[in-house]
Amino acid sequence: MPAPSAKAADEPVPDRGGTEFVEALARGLAVLETFDAGHSEMSLTEIARRTGMSPATARRSLHTLAALGYVRHHNKRYVLAARVLALGASYLRAAHVEEALMPELRRLVAQFGDASSVSILDGPNILYVAHCSEQRASRPAATIGATYPGYATSMGRVMLSRMPPEAIEMYLAQLRPAKLTEHTETDIGKLRQILAEVRQLGYAVVVDQLDYGVTSLAVPVKDHTGRVVAAVNSSGYSGKLSADRLVAERLAELQMSAARITQVFARYPALLYSLRHAG
C-alpha cells in the first residue's frame, strides 16, 4: 500500500470510488506495470495472478493493449511492445527533464565522478526521474523509471523522513523490509530512529544497504514553499569511498545542486507539478 504524504491545498486526491474513475483504464495500466525484469514475458494466467484480476478481465485488457500496440502476443505469452517507450519519452519531453535536472547531475558527476540521480517517492519506493553516471561497475540499474525500496536508499530515507509523523508511522506499520544485503537494516524500531536522525541532519547516507558496493549520500529537493518534492544523490563504490568522506567532500555541493533545482522549478512548473505527491 502506498505510503501517505502531505498534500498541497490545490492537489485534490483522486477518488477511486468516484463516478469519474475509469476502472478499465486502471486495469490496463496495472497490466503494463506488472511486467518487470523478472517477468519480461508472461502467460495470461500469470498476468491475472500478478494483477489480482480474473483471467477474463486480464484478457480484455491485454486484447485492448495489443490492439493499441503496447503489448505483443507470441507462443501464448505476452511481452511489452517497444511502443511503451513512447509513454516515458512523452513525460521526459513534457516535463523538460533534460533541461531542468540533467545540468546539475552532470555538474556533480564532472566534479566527483561516480553517479548522481534525482528520484521521487512512489508509494514505499523511490522512482528515478533523472540519472547521470560514469560508473562501469556492476550495480543495481539506476536508470530512469527504475524503482527501489525507499528504506534501503539514501534518497528514500531523506524523503520518508520529511513526511508527517503519522504518515511515517503508517509507512512503518505497513513495511515488510527484505534483507537485500547482510547490512540492510530491517528492524522497524531502528528504521524509525534512522528516519528521525535523517530529518534532524537534513541528509542521509547509506553503505551497502541496497546492494554491495553502493555508498550514497542524498539531500531533499524542495519547492518554493519548502515542501520536499524529490531527492538528489551522489553515489560511489563502497570499496573506495567511506560514508564520512562522502559527506565531507560532497554534501555542500549536493545541497547547492538541490537549491539550484528548486530555482529551476520556477522556469519549469510542469516538472514541479509532476513531481509533487497527490496524496
Q: Is 17 exposed, middle or buried (0-12, 13-18, 19+ CB in 10 A)?
A: exposed
Residues 41 and 153 in one domain: no
Residues 34 and 170 in one domain: no
Domain that holds residue 51: 23-82
Whose CA is closest to 214, among 108, 117, 88? Answer: 117
Q: What is the DSSP letter of 152?
A: G
Residue 18 falls inside a structural domain: no
Which of 60, 82, 104 marks a domain boundary?
82
Residues 76 and 96 in one domain: no
CB atoms within 10 A of CB 165: 10
Residue 161 falls inside a structural domain: yes
Residues 163 and 115 in one domain: yes
CATH number at 239 reads 3.30.450.40
The SS3 call for residue 169 is: helix
Decide if 36 contacts 84 (C-beta within 8 A): no
The SS3 call for residue 134 is: coil
**What CA–CA distance (Å, rounded) separates 19 from 113?**
51
Residue 7 falls inside a structural domain: no
Per-residue pLDDT of the chain (279 residues; tens, 9 = 90+): 334 443 333 444 455 656 788 999 999 999 999 998 889 999 999 999 999 999 999 999 999 999 999 999 999 999 999 999 999 899 999 999 999 999 999 999 999 989 999 999 999 999 999 999 986 554 566 788 889 999 999 999 999 999 999 999 999 999 999 999 999 999 999 999 999 999 999 999 999 999 999 999 999 999 999 999 999 999 988 888 889 999 999 999 999 999 999 999 999 999 999 998 644
pLDDT at site 140: 60
Residues 77 and 91 in one domain: no
CATH number at 59 reads 1.10.10.10
Residues 262 and 199 in one domain: yes
Decide if 77 contacts 41 (C-beta within 8 A): yes
pLDDT at site 221: 97
pLDDT at site 138: 46
Residues 175 and 248 in one domain: yes
Whose CA is closest to 122, among 85, 160, 152, 164? Answer: 160
pLDDT at site 277: 64
Residue 215 falls inside a structural domain: yes
Residues 77 and 97 in one domain: no
Task: Indicate the number of domains in the chain.
Answer: 2
**What CA–CA distance (Å, rounded) separates 97 from 94?**
8
Residue 155 falls inside a structural domain: yes
**What CA–CA distance (Å, rounded) separates 196 from 199?**
5
pLDDT at site 218: 98
pLDDT at site 73: 94
Residue 180 falls inside a structural domain: yes
pLDDT at site 8: 37
Burial code (b: 16+ CB inside 10 Å, e: under 16) for 62-100 equals bebbeeeebbeeeeeebebeeeeeeeeeeeeeebbbeeb
Residue 260 falls inside a structural domain: yes
In this structure, what is the dihedral angle of CA atoms 8, 12, 14, 17, given to the nearest 10 degrees?
130
Residues 246 and 112 in one domain: yes
Residues 47 and 69 in one domain: yes
Please tell me the number of Cα atoms within 13 Å of 247 on its side-chain side. 10
H or E element, residue 219: strand 214-222
pLDDT at site 135: 63
pLDDT at site 37: 82
Q: Global pTM?
A: 0.84
Residues 187 and 252 in one domain: yes
Residue 249 falls inside a structural domain: yes
Residues 148 and 74 in one domain: no
Q: Is 45 exposed, middle or buried (0-12, 13-18, 19+ CB in 10 A)?
A: exposed
Which of 82, 105, 132 marks a domain boundary?
82
Q: pLDDT tens, 70-100?
A: 999 999 999 999 999 999 899 999 999 999 9
Which of 82, 106, 126 marks a domain boundary?
82
